[in-house]
Amino acid sequence: MRTAQIFRLSMAHPGDLSELDRLIAGGTVRAVEIVAIIGKTEGNGGVNDFTRGYFTQTLMAMLAKHLDEPAEQLIREIPCVLSGGTEGVMSPHYSVFCAGEGEPARGAGPSLAIGTAFSAPVAAEDVGRRAHIDSVANAVRAAIAAAEIEHLGDVHFVQVKCPCVTVARAAAAIAAGKTPLTSDPNKSMAFARAAGAFGVAVALGELAPSVFQEGSLLSDFSIQSPRASISSGVEVESNEVVVLGNSARWAGPLRIAHRPMADALDIGAVVDVLADLDIEAKPQVSAADAMKIATVLVKCEPDRRGKIRGYRHTMLDDTDINAQRHVRGAVAGLVAGVIGDGRIFVSGGAEHQGPDGGGLVAVIASREGSA
Amino acid sequence: MRTAQIFRLSMAHPGDLSELDRLIAGGTVRAVEIVAIIGKTEGNGGVNDFTRGYFTQTLMAMLAKHLDEPAEQLIREIPCVLSGGTEGVMSPHYSVFCAGEGEPARGAGPSLAIGTAFSAPVAAEDVGRRAHIDSVANAVRAAIAAAEIEHLGDVHFVQVKCPCVTVARAAAAIAAGKTPLTSDPNKSMAFARAAGAFGVAVALGELAPSVFQEGSLLSDFSIQSPRASISSGVEVESNEVVVLGNSARWAGPLRIAHRPMADALDIGAVVDVLADLDIEAKPQVSAADAMKIATVLVKCEPDRRGKIRGYRHTMLDDTDINAQRHVRGAVAGLVAGVIGDGRIFVSGGAEHQGPDGGGLVAVIASREGSA
Amino acid sequence: MRTAQIFRLSMAHPGDLSELDRLIAGGTVRAVEIVAIIGKTEGNGGVNDFTRGYFTQTLMAMLAKHLDEPAEQLIREIPCVLSGGTEGVMSPHYSVFCAGEGEPARGAGPSLAIGTAFSAPVAAEDVGRRAHIDSVANAVRAAIAAAEIEHLGDVHFVQVKCPCVTVARAAAAIAAGKTPLTSDPNKSMAFARAAGAFGVAVALGELAPSVFQEGSLLSDFSIQSPRASISSGVEVESNEVVVLGNSARWAGPLRIAHRPMADALDIGAVVDVLADLDIEAKPQVSAADAMKIATVLVKCEPDRRGKIRGYRHTMLDDTDINAQRHVRGAVAGLVAGVIGDGRIFVSGGAEHQGPDGGGLVAVIASREGSA
Amino acid sequence: MRTAQIFRLSMAHPGDLSELDRLIAGGTVRAVEIVAIIGKTEGNGGVNDFTRGYFTQTLMAMLAKHLDEPAEQLIREIPCVLSGGTEGVMSPHYSVFCAGEGEPARGAGPSLAIGTAFSAPVAAEDVGRRAHIDSVANAVRAAIAAAEIEHLGDVHFVQVKCPCVTVARAAAAIAAGKTPLTSDPNKSMAFARAAGAFGVAVALGELAPSVFQEGSLLSDFSIQSPRASISSGVEVESNEVVVLGNSARWAGPLRIAHRPMADALDIGAVVDVLADLDIEAKPQVSAADAMKIATVLVKCEPDRRGKIRGYRHTMLDDTDINAQRHVRGAVAGLVAGVIGDGRIFVSGGAEHQGPDGGGLVAVIASREGSA
pLDDT in tens, D346-364: 999 999 999 999 999 999 9
Burial category of A307 from C-beta neighbours within 10 Å (exposed 0-12, middle 13-18, buried 19 and up)? middle
> How many angstroms separate the CA atoms of D8 and D19, rounded?
10
Judged by average pLDDT, the poorest of C173-177, C218-222, D102-106, D159-163 is D102-106
> How many angstroms separate the CA atoms of B248 and C134, rounded?
67
> How many angstroms separate the CA atoms of C81 and C97, rounded?
11
pLDDT in tens, D46-90: 889 999 999 999 999 999 999 999 999 999 999 999 999 999 999
pLDDT of amino acid A186: 80
Closest CA to B356 of B233, B238, B224: B224
Contact C319 A46 (CB under 8 A): yes
pLDDT of amino acid C368: 76
Check: CATH 3.30.1330.160 for B254-371?
A: yes
pLDDT of amino acid B105: 62
For residue B236, count other CB atoms closer than 10 A to its CB: 25
> How many angstroms separate the CA atoms of A280 and A294, rounded?
15
Closest CA to A94 of A83, A108, A104: A83
Contacts of D43 in chain A (CB under 8 A): 50
Closest CA to A190 of A292, A345, A324: A324
Range list of H helices, C94-251: 130-147, 167-175, 185-203
Closest CA to A9 of D326, B311, C313, B66: B311
pLDDT at D159 over 70: yes
pLDDT of amino acid D225: 96
Neighbours of A, requiring at least 3 CB pairs below 8 Å, are B, C, D
> How many angstroms separate the CA atoms of C172 and C151, rounded?
43
pLDDT < 50 regions, chain B: none
> How many angstroms separate the CA atoms of A198 and D87, rounded?
37
pLDDT of amino acid B99: 97
pLDDT at D106 over 80: no
One-letter amino acid at C110 equals P
The residues, ordered by sequence, that sit 6+ positions from C45 with a Cβ below 8 Å of its Cβ are A319, C83, C84, C85, C322, C324, C325, C328, C348
Angle at D9 between CA D7 and CA D14, to 5 degrees: 135
pLDDT in tens, A166-217: 888 899 999 999 999 998 888 898 999 999 999 999 999 999 999 999 999 9
Residue C253 has what DSSP assignment? S
> How many angstroms separate the CA atoms of C308 and C319, rounded?
20
Contacts of B49 in chain D (CB under 8 A): 319
Is D363 in a helix, a strand, or coil?
strand
**Closest by Cβ to D342, choosing from C12, C311, C341:** C311
pLDDT of amino acid B184: 83
Closest CA to B70 of B80, B79, B60: B60
CATH architecture of A1-103: 2-Layer Sandwich (3.30)
One-letter amino acid at C65 equals K
For residue B99, count other CB atoms closer than 10 A to its CB: 23
pLDDT of amino acid C371: 67
pLDDT of amino acid B108: 65
pLDDT at A370 over 70: no
For residue B17, count other CB atoms closer than 10 A to its CB: 21
CATH 3.30.1330.160 positions along chain D are 254-371
> How many angstroms separate the CA atoms of C183 and A316, rounded?
10
pLDDT at A295 over 70: yes
Q: Does D56 touch chain A (CB under 8 A)?
A: no
pLDDT in tens, chain C (371 residues): 899 999 999 999 999 999 999 999 999 999 999 999 999 999 999 889 999 999 999 999 999 999 999 999 999 999 999 999 999 999 999 999 999 998 776 666 899 999 999 999 999 999 999 999 999 999 999 999 999 999 999 999 999 999 999 888 899 999 999 999 998 888 898 999 999 999 999 999 999 999 999 999 999 999 999 999 999 877 788 999 999 999 999 999 999 999 999 999 999 999 999 999 999 999 999 999 999 999 999 999 999 989 999 999 999 989 999 999 999 999 999 999 999 999 999 999 999 999 999 999 999 999 977 66
Q: Does D179 touch chain B (CB under 8 A)?
A: no
Is C186 in a helix, a strand, or coil?
helix
Averaged pLDDT for residues D204-215: 94
Strands in D293-299's sheet, in edge-to-edge order, are D254-261, D359-366, D293-299, D345-347
CATH 3.30.1330.170 positions along chain D are 1-103
Q: Does C183 touch chain A (CB under 8 A)?
A: yes
| Omega within 30 of 0 (cis) for the link into C104 | no
Contacts of B306 in chain D (CB under 8 A): 166-168, 171
> How many angstroms separate the CA atoms of D142 and D147, rounded?
9
Closest CA to C6 of C254, C297, C243: C254
**Is C239:C118 a contact under the CB 8 Å cutoff?**
yes
Beta strand D155-163 with C80-84 is unpaired
Residue D340: band (very low, low, confident or very high) from pLDDT cuts 50, 70, 90: very high
> How many angstroms separate the CA atoms of B277 and B256, rounded?
8
Q: Does A138 touch chain C (CB under 8 A)?
A: no
Contacts of B265 in chain A (CB under 8 A): 89, 284, 336-337, 340-342
Closest CA to C81 of C209, C214, C210, C229: C229
3-state secondary structure chain B: CEEEEEEEEECCCCCCCHHHHHHHHCCCCCHHHEEEEEEEECCCCCCCCCHHHHHHHHHHHHHHHHHCCCHHHHCCCCCEEEEECCCCCCCCEEEEEEEEECCCCCCCCCEEEEEEEEEEECCHHHCCCHHHHHHHHHHHHHHHHHHCCCCHHHEEEEEEEEECCCHHHHHHHHHCCCCCCCCCHHHHHHHHHHHHHHHHHHHCCCCCHHHCCHHHCCCCCCCCCCCEEEEEECCCCEEEEEEEEEECCEECCEEEEEEEECCCCCHHHHHHHHHHCCCCECCCECHHHHCCEEEEEEECCCCCCCEECCEECCHHHCCCCCHHHHHHHHHHHHHHHHHCCCCCEEECCCCCCCCCCCEEEEEEEECCCCC
**Active site includes D135?**
no
Q: Does A15 touch chain D (CB under 8 A)?
A: yes
**Closest by Cβ to D315, choosing from C88, C308, C341:** C88
**Active site includes C299?**
no
Q: Does C10 touch chain B (CB under 8 A)?
A: no
Contact D88 C330 (CB under 8 A): yes
**Closest by Cβ to D283, choosing from C89, C90, C268:** C268
C349-C355-C358-C363 Cα dihedral, nearest 10 degrees: -90
Residues 215-254, chain D, touching A (beta carbon < 8 A): 234
**Closest by Cβ to A42, choosing from D42, D48, D61:** D48
Is D334 in a helix, a strand, or coil?
helix
- How distant is the alpha carbon of residue B330 from its chain centre? 18
Q: Which helix (H) or strand (E) holds D202?
A: helix D185-203
Which residues of B are part of the catalytic machinery? Answer: 161, 231
Is C158 in a helix, a strand, or coil?
strand
> How many angstroms separate the CA atoms of D29 and D8, rounded?
12
User: Which residues, listed in sequence order, are joined to residue A251 by a DSSP beta bridge?
Assistant: A3
| Omega within 30 of 0 (cis) for the link into C283 | yes
CATH 3.30.1330.180 positions along chain D are 112-242
For residue C1, count other CB atoms closer than 10 A to its CB: 14
ipTM, two decimals, is 0.94
CATH number of A112-242: 3.30.1330.180
D164-D167-D172-D173 Cα dihedral, nearest 10 degrees: 50
Describe the crossing of helices A323-339 and A267-276 by its angle, rounded to 10 degrees: 50
Residue A85: band (very low, low, confident or very high) from pLDDT cuts 50, 70, 90: very high
Describe the crossing of helices C51-67 and B51-67 by its angle, rounded to 10 degrees: 40
